[in-house]
Structure 1
Amino acid sequence: MKREKKSKEDVCEILCINDRKVASARKAMKSDATLFKLAAIFKVLGDPTRTKIISALLQEELCVCDLSTLIGTSQSAISHQLRVLRNMDLVKYRKDGRIAYYSLDDDHISSILTAGLKHVEE
């Protein structure tokens, strides 16, 4: 594990609190409950398999069998990951006979993934 040399360049060397900026930031900051929920979404998206599933569902709805083949893992593993995503309201499903088709729950998740991809591809 590579360690960075500690430098005083990236920290304040004296205590200097700007009360106006702190108050403004505090007023704009979302509630703890909202931020914890957001952190939970990012934690769920931190799993590569779940990110692949979301990426695949950006294109069109897919069934568990399709996702399993596409990602190269078992249907059981895909079903588990889909359950995690569903519990966070990131994906939804519909049944057509005995087939369960999954799609993104709304456009917000598409925007999150698209913004993340732009960030890493720059």
Structure 2
Amino acid sequence: MEKRAEHGDFLRIHDETVKNVMEAVPADQTLYELAELFKVFGDFTRIKIMSLLLEAELCVGDMAQLMGMSQNAVSHQLRVLKNSELVKFRREGKVIFYSLADSHVKRIISQGLEHVNE
């Protein structure tokens, strides 16, 4: 049960701890952006795409075949991932190949998989 002061404020029993935590917590805007990033990770199809890209650079056609989905559906999800800077692409003639954006994204996916497999 929380203790309250007479005027409704919380009693601060551990002032130093509270001060340290307040200084360490990121700004609200940063936390909002992090929450938005995790929303992108919260979709099964996008996670499946990223797990495929963890293994190899792929074109939309290959991803569609591996996922049993239409190329349009895969392309739509890739747009979301590109807009969130989670995947990158390169063009080779008429074919566009996709890969995970960087080592941070690879680490997030790998560690997430490791966590759920424990």
Pairwise same-fold verdict (TM > 0.5): yes
Any unmatched runs of 5+ in structure 1?
Answer: 1-12
Of 40, 48, 51, 2:47 maps to 51
Match of residue 28 from structure 1: 24
Tell me the TM-score normalised to structure 2 length: 0.88
- Mark the CA change 1:14 to 1:32 in structure 2 (over 3 Å): closer, same or farther: closer
RMSD: 1.1
Give the TM-score, by structure 1 length. Answer: 0.85
Q: How far has the Cα of 1:120 moved from its partner?
A: 1.0
Asked whether 1:66 is paired with 2:54, we answer no
Q: Which residue of 1 aligns with 2:106?
A: 110
Report the number of matched residues. 110
The alpha-carbon deviation at position 19 of structure 1 amounts to: 2.1
Matched AA of 2:69: T
Aligned-residue identity in percent: 49
Alignment partner of 1:96 is 2:92: yes
Q: Secondary structure at the residue paired with 1:58? A: helix
Which residue matches 1:14?
A: 2
> What is residue 6 of structure 2 aligned with on the other side?
none
Query: In the alignment, which of 76, 84, 87 is matched to residue 83 of structure 2?
Result: 87
